Amino acid sequence: MRRLITAASALLIGATMLVPSPASAASVEMGNSCTAGGAGASFTVLMVGKGADNPLPITAPSAGVLTKARFTLPTGDSPGFPQKLKVARSAGAPNQYTVVGESGVLPVVSGVQTFDVRVPIAAGDLIGLQGGASGGVLYCNSGDTANVGAVLAGDPAVGSTATYSPESGLALPVVVTLEPDADKDGYGDETQDQCPQSAAAQGPCPIVKLDSFSLAQDGSILVLVGTSESAKVKVTGKTTVDGKVVKLGGKKKQVKPGKLGRFKVAVPPALRAALAELPSSKFIKVTFTASATDTAGRTSKDKSTVKLRGTR
Ligand SMILES: [Ca+2]
Ligand SMILES: [Ca+2]
């Protein structure tokens, strides 16, 4: 790997030890906290072999999203080493890998620097770095030959498959944070996604607001329900006949915003019989409740009432 060393590596002196920050409950770290000892020209290097000196995994233990990339370089003056984080997957043949994701260019300079990224990753995927013509790709020289970097000239695009050259004793000075992504929206559920219950939202889970109205209609009741979010709405009704509770409705229907949900509710026999005995100048009141549960499990309700006229 000596051929990658450029004048830039002369600036990488006075390395400091890095203490990794503790990972939060469900997120995990992968990569290598070694300190950069050199930088090569325009190469892409994938971490494919792990030495005993590296306590971190180099393959993704689970699927999720990479949300942070932390680089360790010596402190002090530096010309800057712009890096791209790459996610790659074995393409089957020996040393053959497909790039499946990448970050934007991260302006790495010196010392310990952490960047926000958002790169989805599948279980078993590998990470790598790409360094451009300015500065080159950062790497650590390791005495442990089990640290293996797979090297390719240039900047392979996402989706491209190539055969890389394995180099022993080569590691990368990057540690990434892998967060779960339960709703698979490509946003890490701990720091990037405020609604991990729904792929449709990355901000706070939207609360469903309901508005309902009920009216008597030729022997049945029509309940109209408007909603602020697409939601499964349930309509139930309740009244009292001769001291006994009579229940109505109970159907569920998907209602979309901007379009009223129409629930046609039959009048049950007990209520129909009571209305038949009631003069047309009198009414029986029925209360309806429209309810919906949002993606975060919160239930919203709205009530409406209808007066049914006696039919005697
Ligand atoms: Ca998510
Ligand atoms: Ca989400």
CA of 201 to the centre of ligand 2 (A): 5
Residues 223 and 120 in one domain: no
CA of 64 to the centre of ligand 2 (A): 12
CA of 191 to the centre of ligand 2 (A): 11
The region of weakest confidence among 24-33, 138-147, 166-175, 266-275 is: 24-33
Q: Which residue from 123, 131, 122 is spatially nearest to 149, judged by alpha carbons?
A: 131
CA of 109 to the centre of ligand 2 (A): 33
CA of 205 to the centre of ligand 1 (A): 12
CA of 292 to the centre of ligand 1 (A): 23
Q: Provide mean pLDDT across the span 199-221.
A: 92
For strands 137-141 and 170-171, give the pairing.
antiparallel
Residues 160 and 218 in one domain: no
Torsion angle of C-alpha atoms 106, 109, 111, 115, degrees rounded to 10: -20
Sign of CA dihedral 5, 10, 11, 14: positive
> Residue 209: which region, alpha, beta or left (left: phi > 0; alpha: psi -120 to 50)?
beta
pTM higher than 0.75 for the full model? no
Q: Which of the four pLDDT bands, split at 50, 70 and 90, describes residue 12?
A: very low
Contact 202, 185 (CB under 8 A): yes
**What digits encode the pLDDT tens for the residues 80-103?**
999 999 999 999 999 999 999 999
Distances in Å between the Cα of 215 and the Cα atoms of 28, 115, 148, 292 are: 56, 58, 73, 20
What is the separation of C-alpha 42 from the centre of its chain, rounded to a whole number of angstroms?
A: 32
Q: Which ligand is nearest to the CA of 200?
A: 2
CA of 59 to the centre of ligand 2 (A): 25
Residue 294 confidence (pLDDT): 85
Q: Enter the tokens of residue 51.
A: 């030495």
202 assigned to some structural domain: no
CA of 196 to the centre of ligand 2 (A): 4
Residue 108 confidence (pLDDT): 96
Residue 9, pLDDT above cutoff 70: no
The CATH number given to whatever domain includes residue 300 is 2.60.40
> Residue 186: which region, alpha, beta or left (left: phi > 0; alpha: psi -120 to 50)?
left
Q: Which residue from 246, 243, 308, 305 is spatially nearest to 278, judged by alpha carbons?
A: 308
Residues 155 and 252 in one domain: no
CA of 192 to the centre of ligand 2 (A): 9
Q: Provide mean pLDDT across the span 157-185.
A: 97
CA of 256 to the centre of ligand 1 (A): 23
Percent of the chain with pLDDT over 90: 79
Residues 127 and 36 in one domain: yes
Distances in Å between the Cα of 230 and the Cα atoms of 135, 159, 206, 251 are: 50, 35, 10, 16
191 assigned to some structural domain: no
Residues 286 and 168 in one domain: no
Sign of CA dihedral 63, 64, 65, 66: negative
CA of 1 to the centre of ligand 2 (A): 42
Residues 149 and 217 in one domain: no
Q: Provide mean pLDDT across the span 301-310.
A: 96
Q: Which of the four pLDDT bands, split at 50, 70 and 90, describes residue 183?
A: very high
**What are φ and ψ of residue 267, in 5° steps?**
-85, 120
Residue 22, pLDDT above cutoff 70: no
Residue 7, pLDDT above cutoff 60: no
Residues 147 and 84 in one domain: yes
Residue 17 confidence (pLDDT): 34
| d(C-alpha 171, C-alpha 61), whole Å | 19
Q: Provide mean pLDDT across the span 32-45.
A: 93
60 CB-near residues (< 8 Å, 6+ apart): 30, 121, 122, 123, 124, 125, 126, 127, 178
Q: Which ligand is nearest to the CA of 199?
A: 2
Token pair 């450029």: residue: 6
CA of 197 to the centre of ligand 1 (A): 8
Residues 175 and 229 in one domain: no
Q: Which ligand is nearest to the CA of 184?
A: 1
Residue 132 confidence (pLDDT): 82
Residue 11 confidence (pLDDT): 37
**What digits encode the pLDDT tens for the residues 128-161?**
999 987 889 999 988 899 999 999 999 999 999 9
Q: Which ligand is nearest to the CA of 65?
A: 1
Question: How crowded is the C-beta side of 88, counted as CA atoms within 13 Å?
Answer: 33
Number of domains in the chain: 2
CA of 206 to the centre of ligand 2 (A): 11
